Structure 1
Amino acid sequence: MKLTLLLLLLFLVTPFAEGDTADNSIPISPWLRRGRTPAPRRQGCWFRPWICCERQRRPLERRLCCSNRCIDVGSNADNCGLCGIRCPFRWRCCNGLCVDIMWNPAHCGSCDNRCSLGSRCLFGLCGYAEPVSTTPPLLHFPSPACPPPPVHPGATA
């Protein structure tokens, strides 16, 4: 039993010992040696805040470095307008302001979805549960561009 454990241990240790000597005998170029043990590259935007400005995809997008990540503060509910400003539950960040999209007629159901004049925003829907108008809409016929020529009495056509 002890002999088999000793032989098993010997077989396990032998390949690792040979691998170390083989790796140390291969010459490495100075260029590879410099790239092998560099200081770890700093990740994120804390040390390079300008990278947030380079990656703007939309014209009105405003990105800031928040918690070492580039965040669009115009639409992120956890960083609305500035880093760390969190919108309340069920509210959304629209253009950097926290708005309640369930009741706001300028942002009804989603950002920048405006209800028509006189229509209310209820539960995120424009005109929800409003009475239907019983009067027909007024029809406006376009006026002719030129008035018709006058008709003279006694003129024959």
Structure 2
Amino acid sequence: MKKGAHPQLQWISYVTQSGRLMHVMTTDQNTPVEGNSIPEVVQHNVTAGSSLSSSSSPWLKRIMNKPPDTRAPGCWKKPWICKQGDDPPRRRCCRNHCVDVTSDVNNCGLCGIRCPFTWQCCRGLCINTNRSRFNCGKCGNRCPYGVLCIYGMCGYAQPLPPRPFPFPKPRSCPPSTFPPKPPRSQPKQPPHSPHPPH
């Protein structure tokens, strides 16, 4: 390596707990470094308006580019702004934000009632939509009678329901023999001649 030549540099990107995207420039471990070997750190504060590079993860793009919160802030001193004419009100003031307590998993039914992981808030109740026959896969999706909800799907990996048992055909009853009827008389036929007429 020539004197004064720069070692190979490598960029490492990661997201901190505060949501900031960090870029760190490091040197290759196998390259001898002359002079100052402290890596240079570049920090970017990525906001919702900025675009992320194509090498970023889909999760990072979704988290950083999500739309701004449209809930009205500042409802502690004026909770009536959350009611919007519903009776009973669907929205409540939770942690200084208007929240729909009929469908919010973090405030289900009342403020602060959080549904367990993978459960959904359906009409203000925490429901396991993976097993509920009345809310299978999503709120309000009802399975047919006799079909179970498994993994959020009605009838998943179940055999087809049995066909209804065929009813026997009605038998024709033999004619009744009581009371006995007299035998029918047959009409008399003229006697046949031994020779056919010509």
Instruction: Map 1:23-38 onto structure 2 (within 5 A).
Output: none
Q: Distance in 1 between matches of 2:128 and 2:107?
A: 16
The runs of 5 or more residues in structure 2 that have no matched partner are 1-72, 167-198
In the other structure, the counterpart of 2:112 is 84
Matched, 1:45 2:67: no
Q: Distance in 2 between matches of 1:82 and 1:70?
A: 12
Which of 100, 108, 115 in structure 2 is aligned with 1:72? 100
Q: How many residue pairs are counted as aligned between the two chains?
A: 94
Cα deviation 1:28-81 (Å, max 9, x = unaligned): xxxxxxxxxxxxxxx51011111001276xx88610000000000000000000
Matched, 1:99 2:163: no
Whether the aligned pair in 2 keeps the contact of 1:115 and 1:126 (CA below 8 Å) is yes
Q: 1:137 to 1:48 in 2, by over 3 A?
A: farther
Structure 1 consecutive aligned stretches of length 4 or more whose deviation exceeds 2 Å: 132-138
Q: Distance in 2 between matches of 1:93 and 1:100?
A: 9
In the other structure, the counterpart of 1:29 is none
Q: Distance in 1 between matches of 2:134 and 2:77?
A: 39
Cα deviation 1:88-142 (Å, max 9, x = unaligned): 000000000000000010100000111000000000000111112474898xxxx
Q: 1:132 to 1:79 in 2, by over 3 A?
A: same
Looking at secondary structure, tell me which structure has more strand per residue: 2
Higher relative contact order (CA 8 A, sep 6+): 1
Whether the aligned pair in 1 keeps the contact of 2:103 and 2:124 (CA below 8 Å) is yes
Q: Distance in 1 between matches of 2:135 and 2:76?
A: 34
Looking at secondary structure, tell me which structure has more helix per residue: 1
Q: Distance in 1 between matches of 2:88 and 2:129?
A: 20
Q: 1:49 to 1:104 in 2, by over 3 A?
A: same
In the other structure, the counterpart of 1:63 is 91
Q: Distance in 2 between matches of 1:126 and 1:137?
A: 23
Q: 1:118 to 1:48 in 2, by over 3 A?
A: same
Whether the aligned pair in 2 keeps the contact of 1:61 and 1:74 (CA below 8 Å) is no
Q: Distance in 2 between matches of 1:127 and 1:72?
A: 31
Letter paired with 2:81: I
Q: 1:66 to 1:131 in 2, by over 3 A?
A: same
TM-score by length of 2: 0.43
Q: Distance in 1 between matches of 2:104 and 2:113?
A: 10
In the other structure, the counterpart of 1:25 is none
Provide the identity percentage: 51
Give the aligned CA root-mean-square deviation in angstroms: 2.2
In the other structure, the counterpart of 1:111 is 139
